[in-house]
Amino acid sequence: MNPRIFRVTLLAVAMATVVSMVATGCLTRELQPINPCTVSGVVRNVKVNAVEEVDVLFMVDNSNSMMEEQANLAREFNRMVTVLASGDLDDDGMQDFPPVKSLRIGVVNSDMGTGGFVVETCSESNFGDDGVLRTVGNTARPGCMGTYPKFLDFSAGTTNVESFATDVTCVAAMGINGCGFEQQLEAILKALTPSSSSLRFNMSTVGHGDVANSGFLRSDSLLAIISLTDEDDCSARDVDLFNRGSATYAGDLNLRCFSFPDALHGIDRFVNGLLDLRSDPDLLIYAGIVGVPPEIVGGDITDYDRILSDPAMQERIDMAMPTRLVPSCNRPGTGLAFPPVRMVRVGQELEARGANTTIQSICQDNFTGALNAIIKKIADVLGGACLPRALNPDATGRVNCDVVEVLKEGSTCAEFEAQGRVFARTQDGQEVCRINQLVPAGSIPSGQGWYYDNFTADTLTRCSDTPQRISFSPGAEPRAGSTIRLECLQPVGMGGGDEVEAGSPCAGDGDCNAMPGGNPLRCEATSNTCQFSCITDADCPGGFRCVDPLGGDNVYCVNPTCSF
């Protein structure tokens, strides 16, 4: 049986400062007296999101350049739904992540009108399609009906995957009759924002989240927003931007979104507005299949600095065709795309605020790779979180940390004794259970509890950059809504290379070597890290003092500003 790995959101990781020539200050010790300034008993919350519901909003550009791109997206729906429903990402018959139990998909387009000004290609000038979830099916496609519900529901074990994917395709492959002034971000925000929000939209209207689009977004779901567009966002703060006779905005109408950035909403509007929709930023995925060069994206990590600094992403007028910008990418069969700077910056800001994001290229023959990257983001939330830095196991495989679970009010640790819980304390009227730590010893341990996972194939693959996470044995998973606390009496691993230094992880003195200047390093048993050993103060670097804070044979150099 495979272990269940649950998503944990680290509000902060137990950190420590290590003894070095430049060390300053002391960390508070919350759990028990330990080596001053060497190790910290910091306690931090980790929240378990047992996600079973996924709400996906597709924003599809329906301007007249998007025919092939819509077709490419439509070809991927069946596989996307199949993977999410099965949890089998690589089609090897093995479950790679917990499958989605309830999947909801809604579709909006980029047509938000032009504020009442008549513009070619914008048939409904006031509001366009206004971020209202689409219910019209593309009857030109075989098997499509004329109308559909405002969102489509998939339930594991009851809904036919192929029929569901066909229905999504019928709604999303909407054609290319939309307004050429795409307001992608505004369409997304208005579609999801409740009417009770202080946000206002064109002509002082309110959001559709609990009105026209009510019922789509569930309170505890993972919200995944997927945008498909070949141009940048032109969400207008001042709709006079679209007025050919404007006294404020002059010049070619096609270039005004580029020429007058102050007439557009700031990206903070969308970053803050989308984050406000979720109680936890970890429950938000922002994904763009947009006009970035394919060679600078791909894989699991989006390098926003690289994207935004790439020469192809610099917005400038095309001197060969002065009515447009220089395209950012161009592939035969998929057409031109233009620098999506605003779309990318929203992703960058959301990621900095804790959301999950990915940017992929629209300039590709197919979107299999792009959708795979998005599916992996969903899988990461449904599956397990990678710890950003390593803990230091001792020689037995244990880490000097406790994982405790704060139960919901009314529950008791005794109810979950068989799942490896024992009563630890009471906190604000709620029972706190200590979860049994299992010792992996290089393989998945038996028993009920949690273990430090830096060895399973799934962790090494999924967490390739930071190969470690907290795993729970089958049956010992935290309950939905529980608060998990990670309580460590050790620092995270500090060494990033092969050189052993103060703070490097160790299991014994043999793992530590001598530092320049003759200061020997020993393995400090409390923290499982290499630290300066000493006999007198003269053996310590930089004025550090030689102290024996715990008694016995624990004599180390510590910062002279620390109390001991």
What residue type is assigned to position 532 of the chain?
A: F
**Residue 171 carries which DSSP code?**
H
The more confident residue out of 21 and 424 is 424
Helix ranges, 392-545 (H): 457-462
Rounded CA-CA distance 222/242 in Å is 36
Assess contact for 35 and 523: CB atoms under 8 A. no
From residue 139, give the alpha-carbon distance in Å to each of 142, 148, 170, 517: 7, 11, 8, 79
**Residue 349 carries which DSSP code?**
H
Confidence band of 519 (pLDDT split at 50, 70, 90): low
* pTM assigned to the model: 0.69
The three-point CA angle 378-383-386 to 5° equals: 100
Most confident of 42-51, 384-393, 425-434, 467-476: 425-434
The more confident residue out of 282 and 257 is 257
Rg (CA), the chain: 27
Task: Give percent above pLDDT 70 in the chain.
Answer: 78
The more confident residue out of 204 and 559 is 204
**What is the rounded average pLDDT of the residues 521-528?**
70
Assess contact for 533 and 547: CB atoms under 8 A. no
Q: Is a pLDDT exceeding 50 seen at residue 37? A: no
**What is the rounded average pLDDT of the residues 6-10?**
37
The more confident residue out of 541 and 466 is 466
Report pLDDT for 439: 93
Q: Which two tokens stand for residue 221?
A: 């779901």
Burial string for 178-210 (b: 16+ CB within 10 Å, else e) reads bbbbbbbbbbbbbbbbbeebebebbeeebbbbb
Domain locations along the chain: 1-50+384-564, 53-316+331-382
Report pLDDT for 560: 56
Q: pLDDT tens digits for 286-307?
A: 999 999 999 999 777 899 999 9
The more confident residue out of 324 and 562 is 324
Burial string for 27-45 (b: 16+ CB within 10 Å, else e) reads bebeeeebbbbbbbbbbee
Confidence band of 553 (pLDDT split at 50, 70, 90): low
The pairing of beta strand 222-228 with beta strand 284-290: parallel
**What is the rounded average pLDDT of the residues 99-126?**
91
**What is the rounded average pLDDT of the residues 465-473?**
79
The pairing of beta strand 356-361 with beta strand 284-290: parallel
* Phi–psi pair at 433, nearest 5 degrees: -105, 135
Report pLDDT for 229: 97
Confidence band of 558 (pLDDT split at 50, 70, 90): low
Report pLDDT for 359: 97
Q: Which residue has the tokens 């032109």?
A: 234
Q: pLDDT tens digits for 132-161?
A: 999 999 999 999 999 999 999 999 889 999
Q: pLDDT tens digits for 408-456?
A: 788 999 999 999 999 988 888 889 999 999 999 878 899 999 998 888 8
Report pLDDT for 39: 40
CATH architecture of the region 53-316+331-382: 3-Layer(aba) Sandwich (3.40)
Rounded CA-CA distance 245/73 in Å is 38
Assess contact for 515 and 521: CB atoms under 8 A. yes
Report pLDDT for 527: 64
Confidence band of 109 (pLDDT split at 50, 70, 90): very high
**What is the rounded average pLDDT of the residues 384-405?**
75
**What is the rounded average pLDDT of the residues 322-328?**
96
Report pLDDT for 131: 98
Confidence band of 281 (pLDDT split at 50, 70, 90): confident
Q: Is a pLDDT exceeding 50 seen at residue 24? A: no
Q: Which two tokens stand for residue 159?
A: 């809904």
Q: Is a pLDDT exceeding 60 seen at residue 550? A: no
Mean pLDDT for all residues in the chain: 82
From residue 8, give the alpha-carbon distance in Å to each of 212, 369, 462, 471: 34, 26, 14, 10
Q: Which two tokens stand for residue 204?
A: 């002082």
Q: Is a pLDDT exceeding 50 seen at residue 106? A: yes
Lowest-pLDDT range, 35-49, 127-141, 279-293?
A: 35-49
Q: pLDDT tens digits for 251-279?
A: 999 999 999 999 999 999 999 999 999 98
Report pLDDT for 551: 53
Confidence band of 17 (pLDDT split at 50, 70, 90): very low
Task: Give percent above pLDDT 90 in the chain.
Answer: 53
Q: Is a pLDDT exceeding 80 seen at residue 355? A: yes
Confidence band of 368 (pLDDT split at 50, 70, 90): very high
